Structure 1
Amino acid sequence: MGVEEEYLLLDPVTGLPVARAAEVRRAADLQDALAAGEVQRELLQAQLEIATPVCRTLDEVGGHLLRMRHSLDIAARETGCRLAACGAAPFNWRRPVPVTPTARYRAMHSRAPRLTDEQLIAGMHIHVGVPGRQAGVVVLNRLRPWLPLLVALAANSPMWQGQDSGFASWRTLVFGRWPASGAPPSFADAADYRHRVDELVAGGLIPDTGQVYWHIRLSERYPTVEVRAADVQLRADEAVMLAGAVRALATRALADEREHRPAPDVRPEVLSAALWHAARYGTANTVFDPRAGRLVPAAEAVDTLLTIIEDASAADRRHTAPLLERLLREGNGATRQRRALRLGGRARLLRMITDWTGGA
């Protein structure tokens, strides 16, 4: 498995996005703890992305995330900005942040200028290895019903342009405006997946397969299923927790398929509405439970997930079950951001989303 995390670059005083991605990448190249290619550019010049190496254990995932977060934070501070682990830029920006100067990103801006300007968001992508694309489609189909719970647990973007958006994950709403986004359909098999993705490109509806922005998709580069539903997390251990939950769900999906156990049957319109509800409320209200087929208290939905995690390895349970329980006690990132703003204003919120290098 592997994890990709996106971050925002913010001014240390105002909290506004700053277009210093190129400078931070150059400073990162001088960090001995960062390998070549681990820090990657993103759509806007106030964003950066990191990608872990291929990992076998959640301990490896956590170690790499801490290493890269810490080293990239040092590079950001050396260039006069801060690395922010939040799903959306929380404070007003006076003018659009420039697009990273590549042909691909310029074409995206030309096609959808306002939408591109507003992509000041940061997500987390979880890759889980699968033994072939047919197995990948099995995992995709069986994980689809769990996407609302994953969005709710990972919600970490309540603020937008200086105001509370009213949503726990405003990033989910912003990112959902692209043509091929949100929950994917179910697929008959790997050939059906390939045909329907190719049809989007061949019909000119999206320029290439890289702009299949579904919450879960088959990777075009790696033998993995890629879950893209999560906001980037405030804490590295929360990112590991989500990665562990996704791997447990994927493992259970393949086992259930072998044993011919039925998957939860969630209709597309129900799934779409459940995702909206998850983005709106996070874990502060009810959450959709795919096995019950209805909204239930967040603690009840997490209990359902914990029954699946019980089948995971002891090491994976150590990284997931206690942290899911902590999340229910302390709140997800969105809840904690709002608490920081209420108790200490913008300054305390800015400290929270940029002072996370102490680790898990």
Structure 2
Amino acid sequence: MTPVPAGTPASPAEVTAPPTVGVEEEFVLAARHSRAAVHRAPAVVGAARVRLGAPHVTVEVSQAQVETVSAVCRTAEGLAAEIVRLRSGAAAAAAEYDCLLVPTGTAVLGRPGPPPVVDKARYRAFARRFGPLAHDQGVNACHVHVGVADREEAVRSINHVRGWMPLLLAVTGNSPFSDGTDTGYASWRSVVWGRWPVAGPPPYLHSAAHYERVVGHLVASGAAMDPAMVYWHVRPSPHLPTVEVRVADVLPDPAATTAYALLVRALVGCAVDAVRAGEPAPAVPDLLLRAACWQAARHGTHGTLPATHTHDCAPTSVGRLVEELWKRVEPHLSRYGDDRWVGDWLSEVQRQGPGSARQRRVADQHGGRLQAVVDELAVEPR
């Protein structure tokens, strides 16, 4: 895809500040020699916090995972620099403990999930309540936060975004291998994560009050320990004035992560505009959305998906859906100079496939040797 040339640039006075954007990325730790998942996260996170600052690195439920948390950014250049800073600093901390920091949705080799669970009260309670369901939870996502100050607008905008979740998953699948096996999926992470009772596409939300009622019922049922554990693909953040999109696997490199985050920001911006204009969102059935997300996880960018951003949900090629998404978001991207970043990335995905295709190519080039996949993905420390 080639970005549509922008029109006459607006004067600085005519361009409002871009919405804020932030990124959380989860990584698997792999032993340098075996390349299998290794449980050294508490030590690695401690070292990474010294390098990057305590707010920017955290543990996850599995001791084979590290999560980075970006600063709040507004420009593409600032976001790209922040992602590089966090990845390289976390990789350097991992190297101190003879580990590789690997951006893949599931561990290519070895089993990363609990036990042992990271020693935090929340995670111990998590493991007690859900039992063996927690055992494979060493999966790694990319979460994008986009600033939307008004809670009502944030909730209603989700209705306009939810129909795009299958396509976003298709273009970001980066977890074909798990524990030494080719799963046959583009995003095995999303299948593992989808086992949770509060994961997957959100329902159609009529208002902020409706959202609170639904979440309250889920917590009361025991399906979630608290509102933060309602793990929908897109949701209003439980603790920030943002819309949080959680559907993607962690992406293979900083350029892809930056472009994806900018795409999400533009999509949320379009959704907020639609809410303010009184534009109704398609009331796509929850079961169809879930089925479309499974199809995206299975096949990635190959084949067709239901066009769940429309009322008729007709089967449509992924390539055509990308073109329709581009048409929708390009004005927002161009407004802030983000069109080239996103256009180049989407063009590459259309030519080469998502991260899952890249992983399989590397494996094929090395006679099926999956250690080579880990080496190809591992972040260079600086």
Residue 255 of structure 1: CA displacement? 1.6
Say whether 1:20 aligns with 2:40.
yes
Between the two proteins, the alignment pairs up a number of residues equal to 356
Residue 288 of structure 1: CA displacement? 3.4
Structure 2 Cα separation of the partners of residues 313 and 17 of structure 1: 38
Residue 321 of structure 1 is matched in structure 2 by 343
**Matched-pair contact (CA < 8 Å) for 1:216–1:229:** yes
**Matched-pair contact (CA < 8 Å) for 1:99–1:106:** yes
Structure 2 Cα separation of the partners of residues 7 and 176 of structure 1: 19
Structure 2 Cα separation of the partners of residues 313 and 248 of structure 1: 6
| Counterparts in 2 of 1:14 and 1:96: CA distance versus 1, 3 Å | farther
Say whether 1:181 aligns with 2:199.
yes
Structure 2 Cα separation of the partners of residues 183 and 356 of structure 1: 34
Say whether 1:310 aligns with 2:330.
yes
Q: 1:153 aligns with which of 154, 158, 171?
A: 171
Residue 356 of structure 1: CA displacement? 5.8
The share of aligned pairs that are identical, in percent, is 38
Structure 2: 5+ residue runs without aligned partners? 1-20
Deviations 1:125-173 (A, max 9, x none): 0101113110011211110100000111110011112111111001111
| Counterparts in 2 of 1:356 and 1:123: CA distance versus 1, 3 Å | farther
* AA at the equivalent of 2:345: L
Say whether 1:198 aligns with 2:216.
yes
| Counterparts in 2 of 1:342 and 1:131: CA distance versus 1, 3 Å | same
Q: 1:8 aligns with which of 3, 24, 28?
A: 28
Q: 1:55 aligns with which of 73, 77, 101?
A: 73
Matches within 5 A, 1:1-360: 1-31=21-51, 34-93=52-111, 96-289=114-307, 290-291=309-310, 293-314=313-334, 315-344=337-366, 345-355=369-379
* AA at the equivalent of 1:194: E
Structure 1 Cα separation of the partners of residues 112 and 363 of structure 2: 21
TM-score with structure 1 length normalisation?
0.94
**Matched-pair contact (CA < 8 Å) for 1:309–1:321:** no
Structure 1 Cα separation of the partners of residues 282 and 206 of structure 2: 16
Residue 58 of structure 1: CA displacement? 2.2
Residue 17 of structure 2 is matched in structure 1 by none
Residue 271 of structure 1: CA displacement? 1.0
Deviations 1:59-117 (A, max 9, x none): 22111000010111011011101001000011233995411001110111112232212
Structure 2 Cα separation of the partners of residues 174 and 229 of structure 1: 13
Structure 1: 5+ residue runs without aligned partners? none
Structure 1 Cα separation of the partners of residues 341 and 107 of structure 2: 28
Structure 2 Cα separation of the partners of residues 95 and 208 of structure 1: 22
* AA at the equivalent of 2:201: A
* AA at the equivalent of 1:133: R
